[in-house]
Amino acid sequence: MATVLSRSEIPAEQQWNAESVFATLADFQAAVAALPEAINGLARFQGHLGDSPQTLLEALQTQEDVIRQVGKVYVYASMNANADTTNAEFDAMNGQARSLFGRFLATASFMDPEIIAITEDRLNQWMDQEPKLQVYAHFFDDLFRKQAHVRSAEVEEVLGLAADPLSSVNNTENVLTNADMTFRPATNSQGETFPIIQGNWESYLNSPDRELRRTTWESYQDGYLALKNTLASNLAVAIKRDVFYARARRYSSALEAAMDESNIPVQVFHTTIETYKRHLPTWHRYWDVLRRSIGADKLYGYDAHAPFTRHAPHIPFEQGVDWISEGLRPLGEDYVAALRQGCLQDRWVDRAVNQGKVAGAYSSGFPGTHPFIMMSYDDTILNLSTLAHELGHSMHSYSTWKNQPFAYSHYSLFVAEVASNFHQAMVRAHLFQMNPDRDFQLAVLDEAMRNFHRYFFIMPNLARFELEMHERAEQGKSLTADVMNARMAELFAEAYGPAVEVDPQRDGITWAQFGHLYANFYVYQYTTGISAANMLAQKVLKEGPEAAKRYRAFLNAGSSLYPIDALKLAGVDMTTPDAVETTFGVLAQMVDRLEQLTAK
């Protein structure tokens, strides 16, 4: 890639379908202008939710209508801002959306305390008197479950008002790393130079040219190191925000607060991490196989993505959609048809590489919009995997929105990462069966190990890091760049084992490259997600339609069930270590296959 295109140079068919949300920027601004009045309209219910079941129903329905409007504005603003972080107008729009969301939270803050004041017994009577309230039964159950952590209306209002300023650190990280941060060009073994931006550096890191990998990795890590103190200060604020919210809601720790939000036992976090640590020898064995396959005495951070073949397939976007569709065919023709229409007709996917586009990939959307995807597709098997992953999220949203009332149209992060990794496991199984060619098999294993490296290696290490940093904040200890880098490097040294030489500074800055750490205890859910996903994929592949039916029932459930119960519906119990153990078995089998293929 000699040059990187600006956003204005990208063909419309490679961009997300923004006009399906708002036809023009003027329509967006009109919606923004109308929202304050709609939000203020909620205030008329304050002090009156206990008047009658009809009043409560009207308030809940009014709140849902306002959330729909706020959600639509938020999706449009954030997607535009992330597609081009250099566009000041888009950044301003994103700020407007965040402010409106904070204003909504503050205005609606009276509702939970007033509903709790009605009492559970009285609400049960009201649901008999007004059948339309019955749809909220699980919502009420969840509210009373967390009753001890719902504060007075006045405190809830303050917490709502604090949402906007306290969330600004998320945007600061986004703008700093995607708009302001620069990287020196990388150089390959022939002396050719390559520009490094957030949208392309991973492609170079997967190169068979070790010099290109080294200079890319060092450039990327050094870009973050140049701003390490600012990034550490910013993350420290986010961590202290988590601690503040936990204490304001009377939790014993930020971890307990995060887990309780979705009714997940705290022990699930600890069991996941302990199981991971117990199986580190599997990872040590993999690093040694990789070291021998590239003929190196020692591996370094830039070798983690070294490919096993120089003959990986070229996979244009449309071909990628075809292969993903075939891998997911066990879920049903209607499932595949919806996915294909989203990718090929409705423009769910913003797939171009352009200047100013955010790093990584994500699925976004809201009931009433498409389940959009932001990513940079580069025709590699790795980006095929990323597309499959994000389509897992999008099809989860699509299924939930289609089958649940608005009250349960969302789902927790804990189950979200199951759907995404399930897609990857199913597509990978199809690719292994599709082509027995050695280079193709090695390319699929490259994809698999990149996926496992991110979600089953990096993420549990980040989870350990995140827990320790939150505990430091809770104990009043300092959170500096040097503290963060040193601990991150120590965790990697343990996890890599003797085959990999850890660079204390460059490996240590890895924490700064994951905006996920700005969402309270998000990253461990990638590890639980990939674990449940691989266990469920094995069930679908071995048991057939009945297992697929159970899996789709899980997708359709949304938040009408607690996450642990929804996964039990699909066929996995995440309160035990079984899924993590099973997935380490999958990893071990792939290492076996790699050892056999590379030995040839």
DSSP-assigned states of every residue in 517-542? GGSTT-THHHHHHHHHHHHHHHHHHH
Distance (Å, whole) CA 235 – CA 173? 8
b/e per residue, 398-416, with b = 16+ CB within 10 A? bbbbebbebbbbbbbbbbb
Annotated catalytic residue, options 390, 417, 447, 474: 390
Judging by beta carbons within 10 Å of its beta carbon (0-12, 13-18, 19+), is residue 151 exposed, middle or buried?
middle
* CA neighbor of 524 nearest in space, from 439, 417, 452: 417
8 Å CB contact between 500 and 316:
no
* CA neighbor of 388 nearest in space, from 436, 438, 441, 322: 322
466 is a catalytic site residue? no
Judging by beta carbons within 10 Å of its beta carbon (0-12, 13-18, 19+), is residue 453 exposed, middle or buried?
middle
Distance (Å, whole) CA 406 – CA 64? 7
Residue where the block lists tokens 């499959």: 388
In one-letter notation, the amino acid at residue 483 is V
The one-character DSSP state at 367 is B
Distance (Å, whole) CA 556 – CA 403? 6
Distances (CA, A) of 560 to 127, 401, 406, 507, 533: 17, 12, 10, 41, 20
Q: Catalytic residues, which ones?
A: 390
